[in-house]
Structure 1
Amino acid sequence: MSAAAAMDATAVSHNATATAAAALGAGGGLASLLPEVQTLELLVAVSIFVAIHSLRQRRSQGLPTWPLVGMLPSLILGLRGGDMYEWITGVLKSRGGTFTFRGPWLTNLHCVVTADPRNLEHLLKARFGSFPKGPYFRDTVRDLLGDGIFGADDEVWRAQRKAASLEFHSAEFRALTASSLVELVHRRLLPVLAEADGGVIDLQDVLLRLTFDNVCMIAFGADPGCLSQGLPEIPFARAFEDATEATTVRFLTPTAVWRAMRALGVGHERVLQRSLAGVDEFAYDVIRRRKEEVAAGRGGRSDLLTVFTKMRAEDGRPAYSDKFLRDICVNFILAGRDTSSVALAWFFWLLDRNPRVEERIVEEIEGIVAARKAAATGEVEEELVFQPEEVKRMEYLHAALSEALRLYPSVPVDHKEVVEDEVFPDGTVLKKGTKVIYAMYAMGRMESIWGEDCREYKPERWLRDGRFMSESAYKFTAFNGGPRLCLGKDFAYYQMKFAAASILLRYRVHVVPGHPVAPKIALTMYMKHGLKVTLSKRDNKGRRL
């Protein structure tokens, strides 16, 4: 139906009204109804126009754009469908990899969404300076992340990045990460799994506890003890979880609305304020004790907090305030906890659906164990602990984890804001201030990027002659790319491979039949209902008992 048709419909309505008025008579008592009839005529005409406009927009934009409310109804329907990420993927496919989302009038919900590797290389590398995180992202997460590396730009970001990079590549840091991981896996994770004894456990929760304790040891030099037998609730961990969830809600709420809710202390903003108090209480207590240790000459630790606490400005005073130290550590906890644990949860779910892949992983692990036994000159320890060089040789496991991250990236979407007029390589025009969303989840499901089998879990796509071969960071963006490439990428892979190999050597993981699995809308791709599993022991050859 065209605009001309709408005009015809309006004309018909108008003629009908005129005829009715003439029949009633200009001076008749019923003629007073004429204004009401004309109002009805206007409403009918507007309704027809809106319907036609919607249909035309559906054809030209891939989804309807309504007057005043923009594409918000389509987004709401996508959310009601239970999987917003699949909705975004479908729209991107229909629009060739990039589309413009128009939110309601007078809101900040307008953005360009892309899954085109050419555009990602443009914004993450070629024109990096033109695409900072931007004030919208920074203001939205500031209460939780402060001036930490996730939301920082320019010199604030560069200073943190430089200091953290030096630490991540130091021998002391590598030793700390390896020793803490051995302690957590062999003294806590494996005993917790053994305690399950065939019962149902939430593996996602267990893995979150593992990585939370691990990253707190690395960031704060403090052990919250989440992964202990009995799986106790830890106030700091609960507060951190609630704070990240409440912060996520802000991205789905107009800025003026959540700011008003914050001022009034209601809804999710009340939850955020309460949970931030718990996060800050823990963080500032650790910072106080660490500064006392450093002042007393007992600051021999290698964790990030100790390193940043020791830094001095040119005048000899501490380089960073307590608030800034808190921000640095909270940011690294957010990055380090979720990337590995969420990826491992999806990995074990995928293995349950793809037993062939699990068999190949176990064969690889068994081969490494057999090689160690063959090379041993004495007794092999009863409790086998994988060495770093053995973990490095797990090529198929590395590929299987990368394939899980391709399909279920820990961060499904990320955000930038353009500071000057730009044009993407695909021709999309970006005006200054435009928010850009790059959709990593959708990228893993684009046939134009990964081929017709893009939705298949296929670790072999990462292997060449049995060796792992990485892909471009602008095609596989699970660890970001360009100057903001994840500093902890190597550590994350080591952590995931060590934990996965230690579990799979000893257990077969079975997802409980009928357990619903779907992504949760959050800063990271949690499973909405957790991952309920049972475990069955393998014999000493890695076979199921």
Structure 2
Amino acid sequence: MRREPTMAENILSSATQWIYTHSSFWDVSMALLGLFVFQCINDRLTNKGPMLWPVLGIIPTMFLHVNDMNNFVTRALSKAGGTFHHKGMWMGGAYGIVTADPSNIEYMLKTNFKNFPKGKYFRERFQDLLGDGIFNADDELWREQRQAVRAEMHSSRFIEHSLRTMKDLVHQKLLKLTDNLVRSGDSFDLQEVLLRFTFDNICSAAFGVDPGCLALDIPDVPFAKAFEKATELILFRFLMPPFIWKTMKFFGIGYEKTLKEAVGIVHEFAEKTVKGRRDEIRKHGSLCHQSDLLSRLIEIEYTGRGKEMQFPDKYFRDLCVNFILAGRDTTSVALAWFFWLVHSNPQVENRILREINDILSLRETQTKNEVIFTMEELNKMVYLQAALSESLRLYPSVPIEVKEVVQDDVLPDGSIVKKGARVFYCIFAMGRMDSIWGENCLEFKPERWIKDGKFVSENQFKYAVFNAGPRLCLGKKFAYLQMKMVAASILLRYSVKVVEGHDAIPKMTTTLYMKNGLLVTLMPRSVNTTAS
């Protein structure tokens, strides 16, 4: 027997029928608009962070501030108390938090390290360029590479090789190039020159190959150009939904086509170098005359097993490309910001010069052009190291990092993160938080790093410029030596003047480049001797 509808069912049916027969497109549009407005108001009342729009999430907010992203995120974090939630486009699967809280960063990078790897989001965007290299790897693959690299990078042989190649590049190429530019009387882009220097330097240390980017005439180095192009184009993968860039990659169109071509040139150069080194050790049975990282690792593997190497060429190729990425951009960009800050703070420049000249006064009489700093002298430059550290605090080479959550977790500040969430920690913002660095956090003040005449390192989770925890940068000591060598050598000989009206604006990339470079003129120091 058929059941009779209830009174409630009759009323609901009648209401539905009325809406169906009487509502118009205008009515539906107004209802949807009302829902949209309600969700916007609700988000503003319940969310402390940036606006999360219906359907589109945080994407519209990001594009509104794309030219000032780092400062925008800093303001948002400060307003939100150090942490805020984010989510991407509806159905896109992007969600998580952004934080600048040192307790959260320590928890992710040390306390519960296993639960916060690089993750698929980061790895798949850099996979084409970095492969399975140390900076793109997680878990056992990462541990295996780090163990091998750490032992060799900390060896006296590699340190001596690094210092020797660094000295040669500074005095035989960098200073000759700057002297040539000074004589021309023209202003030039110091950031571009520093990028050329660090590229040659890291290639010499990692590959044992000098690409020749510091030649007096502007050189045509396809490998260097391709590497720069590849790192710039990869940024687009972080700014657009995966289905767009993956489709472009599949069909080989647009910037993905250019990216593939650039990566091909980079890998071809690296593979050729690896093959040459392996052919050499097969022929001679040893690479004892080579001290670069690649040669040492290949020889250790070869002699350790007593037979042909078990690792494929791709293993060594990826390792070297990863080190070039880390060593080229980071120190050159850090030095560019350092020279800009020193120009803006002449009292800091004067103190650096006094320190350098006090150290050199212990030498016999020597002209500035003859000065080649020793490691012992570089280690004595406490104030210079403080100035470099302060520059990195305000302008970290890598302004933001990302981790992916393996299992549901709760961070020390109470933030709940679900499996698959992406946690961004903003190193740029950390240096500008008065809750971390005090009310003078925006001031360039090297003195904050010195106590009783000695350099004092900060808590690595408060100062995550060189990463922290198990992933603490293996090249930190190398980076400081390189920066001090370049900074001291240039400041001893020249006064660096930024061209009037030239603004230093951060560029929207994965590394904190200056958007318009650093346009400078160099004025030779008037005094010709360092000691008497």
Calculate the TM-score normalised by the size of structure 1: 0.90
Confirm or deny: 8 A CA contact 2:51 2:58 kept in the other structure: yes
Q: Name the structure 1 match of 2:248.
A: 261
Residue number in structure 1 paired with 2:506:
519
Shift of 1:83: 1.3
Q: CA deviation at 1:63?
A: 2.7
Give the 3-state SS of the residue equivalent to 2:208 in structure 1: coil
Q: Give per-residue Cα distances to partners, 1:463-490, cap 9 Å, x unaligned.
A: 1122110100000010000000000000
Give yes or no for contact 1:119–1:424 (8 Å, CA) kept in 2.
Answer: yes
What is the aligned residue count? Answer: 506
Cα drift, residue 370 of structure 1 = 1.2
Structure 2 letter corresponding to 1:308: L
Q: Is the 8 A contact 1:506 1:542 kept in 2?
A: no
CA distance in 2, matches of 1:131, 1:241: 29
Q: 1:44 aligns with which of 21, 30, 38?
A: 30
User: How far 1:381 moved relative to its partner?
Assistant: 8.8
Alignment-derived partner of residue 491 in structure 1: 478
Give yes or no for contact 2:190–2:517 (8 Å, CA) kept in 1. yes
Which residue of the other structure, out of 218, 222, 226, is the alignment partner of 1:231? 218
| SS of structure 2 residue aligned to 1:509 | strand
The C-alpha deviation readout for 1:9-55, integer Å capped at 9, x for no partner, is xxxxxxxxx9xx9xxxxxxxxxx9x85x6321232232233223213
Q: Kindly indicate whether residue 115 of structure 2 is the aligned counterpart of residue 130 of structure 1.
A: yes
1:186 matched residue in structure 2: 171
Match status 1:389 vs 2:376: yes
Structure 2 CA distance for aligned equivalents of residues 334 and 462 of structure 1: 28
1:120 corresponds in structure 2 to 105
Instruction: Report the secondary structure of 1:492's partner residue.
Output: helix
Change (3 A) 1:314 1:186: closer
For each residue in 1:201-223, what CA deviation from the matched residue of structure 2 results, as whole angstroms up to 9, or x when unmatched? 11001001111000001111111
Among 262, 266, 282, the residue aligned to 1:275:
262
Maintained 8 Å contact 1:245/1:522: yes
Letter in 2 for 1:305: L
| Alpha-carbon distance between aligned partners in 2 of 1:516 and 1:201, rounded to the nearest angstrom | 14
Listed as ranges, the matches of 1:425-464 within 5 Å are: 425-464=412-451
Q: Which residue of 2 aligns with 1:412?
A: 399
Q: Kindly provide the amino acid, as one letter, of the partner of residue 295 in structure 2.
A: T
After superposition, give the CA deviation of every residue in 1:44-96 in whole Å (9 maximum; x if it has no partner): 232233223213312322332222111211111111xx111111111111111
Distance (whole Å) between structure 2 residues aligned to residue 83 and residue 542 of structure 1: 45
Q: Pick from 296, 305, 328: which aligns with 1:307?
A: 296
Say if 2:94 and 2:421, in contact at 8 Å, map to a contact too. Answer: no
Structure 2 Cα separation of the partners of residues 120 and 257 of structure 1: 32
- Post-superposition offset of 1:382: 5.8
Matches within 5 A, 1:155-304: 155-197=140-182, 198-297=185-284, 299-300=287-288, 301-304=290-293
- Counterpart position of 1:101: 86
Structure 1 runs (4+) deviating above 4 angstroms are 312-315, 379-382
In the alignment, is the contact (CA less than 8 A) between 1:508 and 1:538 conserved in 2?
Answer: yes
Query: 52-61 or 449-458: which moved more?
Result: 52-61
Q: Contact 2:191–2:336 (CA<8 Å) still a contact in 1?
A: yes
In the alignment, the residues of structure 2 paired with residue 230 and residue 40 of structure 1 have an alpha-carbon distance, to the nearest angstrom, of 67
CA distance in 2, matches of 1:83, 1:145: 28
| Aligned counterparts of 2:307 and 2:242: Cα–Cα separation in 1 | 41
SS in 1 for 2:75: helix
Q: Which amino acid aligns with 2:219?
A: P
Shift of 1:98: 0.8
What does residue 316 of structure 1 align with?
Answer: 307
1:55 pairs with one of 18, 41, 44: 41
In the TM superposition, what whole-angstrom CA distance separates every residue of 1:294-350 from its partner, at most 9, and x where no partner exists? 112251211121122221485833132111111000000001111210100000011
- What is the DSSP-based 3-state SS (H/G/I as helix, E as strand, rest coil) of the residue aligned with 1:414? strand
Q: Which runs of 5+ in 1 are unaligned?
A: 1-17, 22-31
Q: CA deviation at 1:248?
A: 1.7
Identity of aligned residues (%): 48
1:337 aligns with 2:328: yes
Q: Is the contact made by 1:109 and 1:254 (CA closer than 8 Å) also made in structure 2?
A: no
Cα distance in structure 1, aligned partners of 2:159 and 2:216 = 27
Q: Secondary structure at the match of 1:251?
A: helix
Question: Is the Cα–Cα contact under 8 Å of residues 198 and 327 in structure 2 kept in the other structure?
Answer: yes
Contact 1:167 1:304 in 2 (8 A): yes
2-side partners of 1:294 and 1:152: how far apart?
28
**Do the aligned partners of residues 417 and 542 (structure 1) sit closer, same or farther apart at CA in structure 2, a change above 3 Å counting?**
farther
Deviation at 1:422, TM superposition (A): 0.9
- Provide the secondary structure at the position in 1 that maps to 2:97: strand
1:229-283: per-residue Cα shift (whole Å, max 9, x none)? 0131310000000111111211112112111110111122111111011101211
| CA-to-aligned-CA distance 1:474-513 (integer Å, 9 cap, x gap) | 0001000000000000010000001100000000001111
- Take 1:519 and 1:542, find their aligned partners in 2: how far apart are those partners? 38
User: What CA distance in whole angstroms lies between the structure 2 residues aligned with 1:350 and 1:60?
Assistant: 40
RMSD value, Cα: 1.9
Farther-moved stretch of structure 1 (240-249 vs 314-323): 314-323
Which whole-Å deviations, capped at 9, do the CAs of 1:385-420 have from their partners, x for residues lacking one? 011000000000000000000001011111111111
Return the alpha-carbon distance in structure 1 between the equivalents of residues 368 and 213 of structure 2.
28
Q: 5+ unaligned residues in a row in structure 2: which ranges?
A: 1-17
Q: Aligned AA for 2:390?
A: E
1:366–1:542 CA contact under 8 A, matched in 2: no
Distance 1:142 1:45 in 2: 45
**Cα distance in structure 2, aligned partners of 1:71 and 1:382:** 54
User: 1:134 deviation in Å?
Assistant: 1.2
What's the counterpart of residue 10 of structure 1? Answer: none
TM-score of the superposed pair, with normalisation by structure 2: 0.92
Residues in 2 aligned to 1:534 and 1:267: alpha-carbon distance in whole angstroms: 38
1:539 Cα deviation (Å)?
2.1
1:455 CA displacement: 0.9
CA distance in 2: counterparts of 1:56 and 1:448, whole angstroms: 29
The one-letter code sitting in structure 2 at the alignment partner of 1:148 is G
Contact 1:505 1:542 in 2 (8 A): no
Match of 1:148 among 109, 112, 133: 133
**2:239 counterpart SS class:** coil
